[in-house]
Amino acid sequence: MKKTALLSLLFLTIFLIFSTLPAFASTTDAAYYNNLGEQAYLSGDCDNAIKYYNQAVNSNPQEPRYWVNLAFAHETKGEYDLAEKYCYKALHLDSRYEYAYTCLGFIYLGRGSFDKAEKSFFSAISLDAKDPRNYDGLALLYEQKQDYQKAFNYMQQGIELTNYQKATYLNRGAWYLKNLGQLEKAVNYYEQSSKVNPNDPNIYNEIGIIFNELGKYDDAIKAYQLAVKLNPTEPYYYYNLGLAYYDKSNYPQAVTALQKAVQHNSEDRETYYYLGVSYAKIGNSNQAINNLIKATELDPKYTEAYQGLGDLYKKIGNPELAENYYKKADESKK
C-alpha cells in the first residue's frame, strides 16, 4: 500500500474516532450501513467498507459524509477517479463540506498533482483551521517535494492540534529534521516520541543512528541496546549495534553483535563485510576471509570486500591470491 494511502487511512481513522458516530442500531438504514463501513475501513477491509458505504449512499444519497467515506475507501485502494467523483457528489450537496476537500487533497497527492492537492488542503483549512489532517497532508506533500522545512512546519502545526497518534507525528517530524541536518533536534523529537510509545524499538534504533552520525558512540550503543531488548530478533538492530562498536574501535563487541545479526538471518552484505573486517582487526584471519567471501557472494560487485580479501591474503603471505582479489576489486568497479 502506498504511503499516501496509508496516511489517508490514518487520517480517516482520526476523523472516525473523533466524529460523533451514529449508534450501531441506528434508526436509519443509511446510518447503520455507514457504521458498518466505518468498522470495516478501520480494520483495513476496504472492499467491505466500499460495499457498506454504497449501501449507505443508496439509502440516503443526501448525506455528504457518506459520499466522502466512500471516496476515502476508494482513494486508499488507489482508485482515484472514483474517489474524485464521489467527493464532488458530496460537494454538490454541500459546497463548504471541509472533509471533501481534505479527501480531494489526498487524491491529488496520490496522483502527484501537487498544485491541486495544495489548493484542496488550503480550501479545507479555510473552512476548518483546526483540523490536523490538512496540515498532515501538506506535510506529506512537501515531503514528496523534498522541501523538508515546509514539511516540518506543517507537521508541527498538526502536532499542536491533536494528541492522537502523536508518536507517529513526532517520528515524522524527527525524520524531516534529520533530512534538514538538525540532528540534535531530531533526537529530541524521537525522545518525545519514546515517552509516548516507550515500547517501539524503531524509535531507539533511529536515535542510535543519529548518535552514531554525531560520533556519540556510547549514546548510540545505549540506544541500540534498548532496541534489541525490545525486539531481540531483528538483525538490523544488531548490525547497527555492531557498527557502533566498530566505529568505537571495540572490535570484539562488534563481532559479538554482528554474529547476532547473522544468527537472526541477516542476508545483508554490509553485515558480513563488517563482521569480516572486525575479525581481521582482532587477528582472526580465517573468520575474516570467510565472512568477506560471503559478502562477495551476496554482492559480486562489492569492491571493498574484494579489496579487504586482497589485503588479508597479502598480510598472511599469499601474494597470488592477494593479486587475484585485487584484480576482482578493479573489475567490480567497471
Please check the confidence at residue 156 and state whether its pLDDT lies above 60: yes
Residue 3 confidence (pLDDT): 55
- pLDDT tens string 23-59: 443 437 999 999 999 999 999 999 999 999 999 999 9
Distance between CA atoms of 304 and 323, rounded to whole angstroms? 14
Half-sphere exposure of 40 (CA within 13 A, CB side): 21
Reply yes or no on whether the pLDDT at 280 is more than 50: yes
Q: Which helix (H) or strand (E) holds 162?
A: none
Per-position DSSP letters for 24-65, written without gaps between them? TT-SSHHHHHHHHHHHHHHTT-HHHHHHHHHHHHHH-TT-HH
Closest CA to 120 of 131, 107, 132: 107
User: How is residue 255 written as a grid cell?
Assistant: 563481532
Region of residue 2 (phi > 0: left; psi between -120 and 50: alpha; otherwise: beta): beta
Identify the structural domains of the chain with CATH numbers, from first to last: 1-128 (1.25.40.10)
**pLDDT confidence tier of residue 22, bands split at 50, 70 and 90:** very low
Angle ∠(114,120,121) on CA atoms, nearest 5: 90
Give me the pLDDT at residue 266, please: 81
Nearest Cα neighbor of 254 from 286, 226, 217, 293 is 217
The arithmetic mean of pLDDT across residues 213-220, rounded, is 97
In the structure, what pLDDT confidence band is assigned to residue 248 with cuts at 50, 70 and 90?
A: very high
Query: What are the C-alpha distances in Å from 118 to residues 1, 134, 178, 183?
Result: 22, 9, 24, 28
Residue 291 has pLDDT above 70, yes or no: yes
Q: How many CA atoms lie within 13 A of 236 on its CB side?
A: 7
Q: How confident is the model at residue 164 (pLDDT cuts 50, 70, 90)?
A: confident
